[in-house]
Structure 1
Amino acid sequence: MAAATVLGIGLGGFIDGIVLHQILQWHEMLSNKIPATTYIGKSVNMFWDGIFHAFTLLVTITGVILLWKLLRRKDINRSGNLLAGGMLFGWGLFNLLEGIADHQLLKLHNVREITPDKQLWNLGFLGLSILFIVVGLLISKRRKGEDFESTHKST
């Protein structure tokens, strides 16, 4: 599950950066410290968003390499459940650690900078992260060919 988790961390970071930073523009890497309201503020934030994306690219490439190395082995679980669950777990783990570090401890940015209750968005993000982790673990534990109903029947 480690390779899928690493891949999920990298892809989760990309999703965060692309959706929250670039498309929705809810925040940028340092937008709580250096508001992106001037040309210089926007440039500084864009630079650090780029550093963040470079990091997520390296993590994603590492995850792909780890998966590729595993495919040579005959004794591994090739379940799509393990891959999908591990990736969802990694995405949730990334969000949880990033949310605690950047939103709570370092206060670099909030999930949404322009809102009356920034902390509510930050806590919702952490809650969603925990949900991803739990669902990822549940999916990864399912065996190939099992469906939800057959594993959770009450007798």
Structure 2
Amino acid sequence: MTDSITLHRAPLVAAGLLLGAGLGGFVDGIVLHQILQWHNMLSNQLPPDNLINAKVNMYWDGVFHAAVWVLTAVGLRLLWAAGSRADVPWSGRTLGGGLLLGWGLFNVVEGLIDHALLGLHHVNEYAADKLPWDMAFLGFGALLLLAGYGLVRAGRHDTAVRGTRRT
């Protein structure tokens, strides 16, 4: 515990949020778009059932991957900056909580906007009933948010700052 400085956890949480959103986006893109091939960015609006539609969907999947790469890169930059500050406690629970919050936020925002509001795609375009898949995606996001919040709260007791970290 340190008495000489005020501790600030927000920089570590912010880094975790961006890293979590970016990495969560990569999980979505790699697993749901590429490996399982359940959907593409525009697959509900432009089914990839011919070469032109498939190419348009592939382009927008690439734009999506570029955006989550930028989120991840900015998150890494924020993590680097947080790690060099003496007033930021180095806490795996705080960072891990931020990662889960970011991934959960990605799922909830992406699920509400792309699946529900705009109808660009659904989690599983090939399912007879798409709603349970979309709801499960949102539910998983909500669970990630709750777990992340719990970890960030638990990390508020971590006080190891620069110079006092274990190597």
Unaligned runs of 5+ in 1: 147-155
The residue that corresponds to 1:62 in the other structure is: 74
The aligned residue for residue 60 of structure 2 is 48
Give the number of equivalent residue pairs. 146
Asked if 1:132 corresponds to 2:149, the answer is no
Q: Which runs of 4+ in 1 moved over 3 A?
A: 143-146
Aligned partner of 1:86 in structure 2 is 98
Distance 2:97 2:133 in 1: 25
User: Structure 2: which 5+ residue stretches go unaligned?
Assistant: 1-12, 159-167
**Whole-angstrom CA distance in 2 between matches of 1:79 and 1:6:** 17
Task: Confirm or deny that 1:12 pairs with 2:15.
Answer: no
- AA partner of residue 137 (structure 1): Y
Give the counterpart letter for 1:25 in structure 2: Q
Q: Does 1:23 align with 2:43?
A: no
Q: Provide the residue aligned with 1:101 in structure 2.
A: 113
| TM-score computed with the length of structure 2 as normaliser | 0.84
Q: CA deviation at 1:145?
A: 8.6
Mapped contact 2:21–2:71 kept (Cα < 8 A): yes
Q: Secondary structure in 1 aligned to 2:155? A: coil
Match of 2:134 among 96, 119, 122: 122
Identity of aligned residues (%): 50
Alpha-carbon offset, residue 20 of structure 1: 0.5
**Any idea what the Cα deviations from partners look like across 1:123-155, whole Å, max 9, x if unmatched?**
111111100000011112113899xxxxxxxxx
Q: Secondary structure at the match of 1:131?
A: helix
How well do the aligned residues superpose, as a CA RMSD in angstroms?
Answer: 1.4
CA contact (8 A) 2:91 2:155 kept: yes
More helix by share: 1
Please give the TM-score of this superposition, normalised by the length of structure 1: 0.91
